[in-house]
Structure 1
Amino acid sequence: MTTPLRSESTDRPSAGTRLVTPAQAWYAVAILTLANVSGFVDRQILNLLVRPIKRDLHVTDTDVSLLMGLSFVVFYSLLGLPIGRWVDRGHRPRIVALGAAVWSVMTMLTGTARSYAHLFIARIGVGAGEATLGPAAVSIIAEQFPRKRLGVAMSTYMMGTFLGSGVAYALSAFVVGRVDKPGLVHVPIVGDVFPWQLVFFYVGLPGLLVALLALTIREPRVVRASAEPDQMEAKAPFAEVMRYLRANARTVGALSFGFACSASVNYGVGAWLASFLIRTHGFTESQAGLLQGVLTATLGPLGVILGGRLTDALSKRGQVDASLRVGMLGGLGMLLFAGLYPLVPTGTLAAALLIPVNIFAAMPWGAANAAIAEAMPPRMRGQGSAIYQLVVNLLSGVLGPTAVALLTDQVFRDPLALRYSLSLSAVVGMTLAIGLLAWGRPAFRATVQRLRDEGADETAGAR
């Protein structure tokens, strides 16, 4: 007999929510994971086409870096705030569906760009669409799984990050050489485009199917049109969210900045690993892209699921701060292996050390989403998650790749010193991550326990 899952991570039903079956809950995770894969492929694919974009649109490295960073990361992060409020009020599967449709259409519009400005606007649109997914996914999953199963559920969703990135990296091994050609090709209805622009149609179209599938997810929250006092659970004003964050500043600050430091190292490795392999060990572009893609797509999911299972195992043993412990363990593994692989003498040994690097890099991310979900009251999870992602994405997306580049250009002043920049940034970044998460553990335990006590009081009062 199938037992419905409780709709809150406290294992207690909450007013204004429906119980969902395990099948419905895991179906939601599957669709959200697929959406995450689609979003990350659309996000990363431009990074593989730098050379033909520069040639055909007559732009510089700096121009292209703005397409990768400013146009996407800033708008993706800032739009998360109003979208988070919308998530806390609205029908979340429909929000995901709309976002998937927007980022897919804007990805395909990138394939029609005739100028740098057109390309920049299209990238803003991709970021705006993808800004809907994170807050909505965290909120939906947290309401469909009890706390002791939340780690694996969040980790499964986060598999999409590594699968999507792996697919994008692997595409670089096979696609770039085939589309890096001068001239134009004719596309029916669209007209003449550059060969590299065809890639954006190929990766954008599947997202429209994802948008349709998102509409089939069950919304566990009862969304009402009226504003009666007893129907306001899902409508936390932004001012109330800010008061809650100030009252729990150490908890949310440690989570946001701790995981941001961890993500910064990951972004730096992702951005510069191929260049390191080419410059230091003589890999070709195809070899570097294939290695990075295979490792990310296979070991990333393994690492994130391992982290989720470990989080749930520790939670079942009564460790309230299980998610932070897993984040610290991942940081310790990265401190060792990501600090070491750039310094070894051979490409074979570096590639071998990248196996644990990929596992430990992925390990914290299901735990991180579980942590922010546990630290926020259910009715403000969308906004809380958006603020958390604002900090993590802005710091990691801008700082991660740039810190490595600045060390190489301004400190070591030698392109071949990229290996030392990668090693140093990993050691410093992960030391900060471990320290911040350790500092936040007592406050996190107090916050979660207080929310559990309040949930128990509300449940008792409703009886």
Structure 2
Amino acid sequence: MSVTTRSAEPPVEAQAHGPRRAWAAVVLLAVVGTLNYADRFLPAVLAEPIKHDLALSDTAIGVINGFGFLAVYAVLGIAIARIADSGAFGLVISVCLGLWGAMTMVGGAVHSGVQLALTRVGVAVGEAGSTPAAHAYVARNFAPERRAAPLAVITLAIPLASAASLIGGGLLAESFGWRTTFVVMGAISVVFAPVVLAVLGRRQSMPTAERSPQDRTTRPWHVLRAPSYLIIVTGAACISVAGYSLTTFAPAFLVRHHGLSLGEVGLQYGIASGVTGILGLLVVGRVADRLAARDPRWLLWLVAAMTAALLPCSVAAFLVGSPMVCVVLISLAYVIGTAYMAPSIAAIQRLVVPELRATASAVFLFFGAIVGAAGPFVTGLISDALTAELGSQALGRALLIVVPAMQLAAVVCYLAASRRFLRDTLDAA
């Protein structure tokens, strides 16, 4: 049954970029996002050589890749998003890109866990503003019923970065060491910074017709007013706990439990996760736009259905004995942590006024990062606690405890959010 609702904002106005330039910018933003996540994933991909070189525990790895990075990323994301909401999409993204690339390069020179953590804080500062600004650019230049597809293209950055960091990072590290890998990956980001500024421009003005009255509705905390927004954020945070745990420890699990080398993990897991992630995003993004045109709640129902369908893979991945089957199952479980993003962002953009689009994404990512940071930390704690008893199987047991439980909780949240979504969309309008 079709449901017709008013959009939460007016149609895309004449001052927006034309379709050709807007899609060119989306493709470039996908490249930027790939560099973003590749630099973010790098310490996880190279966790084993970093751990041995710097004498770190699994808990320390979890803190550096979890709380140490994500807490800074989450807090500063909201502050930088307020700048992006003024229309300075290109300026914010290009500056952030140059900063996180430079700090990744510095990470190749560290000699202790503390120094590595400090460089990751610098990377987090740079990466904090990029994603919300990219989401706001899409909301500014695409009509509400056409946003899931460009958001899905931008989110292709996650599986592309996973494949790039696993394959490129693994092979580079085997040939030249993890330090050189950090320098090379960071330098690529620095080179792309001026390209972003040229394509997106410094600032895109907000038309008078789209501006909201200067009252409390444009204050950052206004995004928390809609109940369905809060429930979506909670569900997404649960997916983030599972996703960050997999991202941080899946390569190490394949090395320890199945005896694969870094190069083998890079090629096998990198290709498998890249292919499944890209296909999952393209399919979900396309289907989300089609179904949401009939009923906007499909943006949420689709995430719940996809997560429930792939949840058995998150269980079986850590029980099978075959390395190849394990790689395929982890890659399918990884799809949940990438494909949920486009329909979720498309949904929350319908719940806020135009001046809060980047802020809405930043708050969404804030809770995902803060809560999600608990995933690698708790997984590392459980793994360290079980190592004396289970040895190389401890990490797999820890992932089996954390990942499926959080994904199941996400299914419940997205279904609950769908019950209030239409009402909150009309309230936002």
TM-score, length-scaled by structure 2: 0.88
Give 1:383 deviation, angstroms. 1.4
1:222 aligned partner, one-letter code: S
Query: Residue 114 and residue 41 in structure 1: after superposition, are their counterparts in 2 closer, same or farther (change >3 A)?
Result: same
* Contact 2:272-2:327 at 8 Å conserved across structures: no
Summarize deviations over 1:403-453 as a string: whole Å, max 9, x none.
3334444479524144343333233111110111111112222122333xx
Partner of 1:75: 72
- Cα distance in 2 for partners of 1:379, 1:20 equals 18
Partner of 1:450: 427
Give 1:201 deviation, angstroms. 2.1
Indicate yes or no: 2:302 matched with 1:302. Answer: no
Summarize deviations over 1:104-125 as a string: whole Å, max 9, x none.
1222222344665544332211
- Cα distance in 1 for partners of 2:41, 2:333 equals 20
Runs (5+) with no aligned partner, structure 1: 1-7, 181-195, 225-229, 455-463
- Cα distance in 2 for partners of 1:251, 1:432 equals 16
Query: Residue 206 and residue 389 in structure 1: after superposition, are their counterparts in 2 closer, same or farther (change >3 A)?
Result: same
2:219 alignment partner, one of 238, 241, 245: 241
* Contact 1:91-1:223 at 8 Å conserved across structures: no
Provide the aligned C-alpha RMSD in A: 2.9
- Cα distance in 1 for partners of 2:107, 2:345 equals 31
- Cα distance in 2 for partners of 1:231, 1:125 equals 38
* Contact 1:404-1:425 at 8 Å conserved across structures: yes
After the TM superposition, which residues 48-67 of structure 1 pair with which residues of structure 2 at under 5 Å, given as runs?
48-53=45-50, 62-67=59-64
Secondary structure class of the residue paired with 1:414:
helix
Give 1:353 deviation, angstroms. 3.2
Summarize deviations over 1:170-210 as a string: whole Å, max 9, x none.
23431222334xxxxxxxxxxxxxxx422222111221232
2:131 aligned partner, one-letter code: G
Structure 1 window deviating more from structure 2 (114-123 vs 41-50): it is 114-123
Runs (5+) with no aligned partner, structure 2: 1-6
Structure 1 window deviating more from structure 2 (127-136 vs 61-70): it is 61-70
Partner of 1:405: 380
- Cα distance in 1 for partners of 2:269, 2:297 equals 32
Partner of 1:381: 357
Indicate yes or no: 2:308 matched with 1:332. Answer: yes
Query: Residue 20 and residue 157 in structure 1: after superposition, are their counterparts in 2 closer, same or farther (change >3 A)?
Result: same
1:179 aligned partner, one-letter code: F
- Cα distance in 2 for partners of 1:257, 1:55 equals 36
Secondary structure class of the residue paired with 1:375:
coil
- Cα distance in 2 for partners of 1:430, 1:288 equals 24
- Cα distance in 1 for partners of 2:91, 2:56 equals 38
After the TM superposition, which residues 146-161 of structure 1 pair with which residues of structure 2 at under 5 Å, given as runs?
146-161=143-158
1:425 alignment partner, one of 378, 402, 412: 402
Query: Residue 236 and residue 57 in structure 1: after superposition, are their counterparts in 2 closer, same or farther (change >3 A)?
Result: farther
Indicate yes or no: 2:235 matched with 1:258. Answer: yes
2:225 aligned partner, one-letter code: A
2:184 alignment partner, one of 193, 202, 207: 202
Partner of 1:268: 245
Query: Residue 23 and residue 9 in structure 1: after superposition, are their counterparts in 2 closer, same or farther (change >3 A)?
Result: farther
Query: Residue 121 and residue 354 in structure 1: after superposition, are their counterparts in 2 closer, same or farther (change >3 A)?
Result: closer
How many percent identity over aligned positions?
Answer: 22
- Cα distance in 2 for partners of 1:55, 1:281 equals 19
After the TM superposition, which residues 16-55 of structure 1 pair with which residues of structure 2 at under 5 Å, given as runs?
18-53=15-50
1:120 aligned partner, one-letter code: A
Summarize deviations over 1:138-169 as a string: whole Å, max 9, x none.
10011111122211110000001111121111
- Cα distance in 2 for partners of 1:28, 1:354 equals 32
* Contact 1:264-1:399 at 8 Å conserved across structures: yes
Indicate yes or no: 2:370 matched with 1:394. Answer: yes
Indicate yes or no: 2:394 matched with 1:414. Answer: no
- Cα distance in 2 for partners of 1:53, 1:362 equals 26
- Cα distance in 1 for partners of 2:254, 2:53 equals 27
- Cα distance in 1 for partners of 2:114, 2:384 equals 28
- Cα distance in 2 for partners of 1:197, 1:350 equals 29
* Contact 2:229-2:351 at 8 Å conserved across structures: yes
- Cα distance in 2 for partners of 1:278, 1:91 equals 43
Partner of 1:460: none
Query: May I ask how many residue pairs the two structures share in their alignment?
Result: 420
Secondary structure class of the residue paired with 1:326:
helix
Structure 1 window deviating more from structure 2 (144-153 vs 354-363): it is 354-363
* Contact 2:158-2:338 at 8 Å conserved across structures: no
Give 1:11 deviation, angstroms. 6.0
> Which structure is richer in relative contact order (CA contacts within 8 A, separation 6 or more)?
2
* Contact 1:408-1:414 at 8 Å conserved across structures: no
1:337 aligned partner, one-letter code: C
- Cα distance in 1 for partners of 2:233, 2:313 equals 24
* Contact 1:300-1:362 at 8 Å conserved across structures: yes
Indicate yes or no: 2:153 matched with 1:177. Answer: no
- Cα distance in 1 for partners of 2:48, 2:397 equals 26
1:450 aligned partner, one-letter code: D
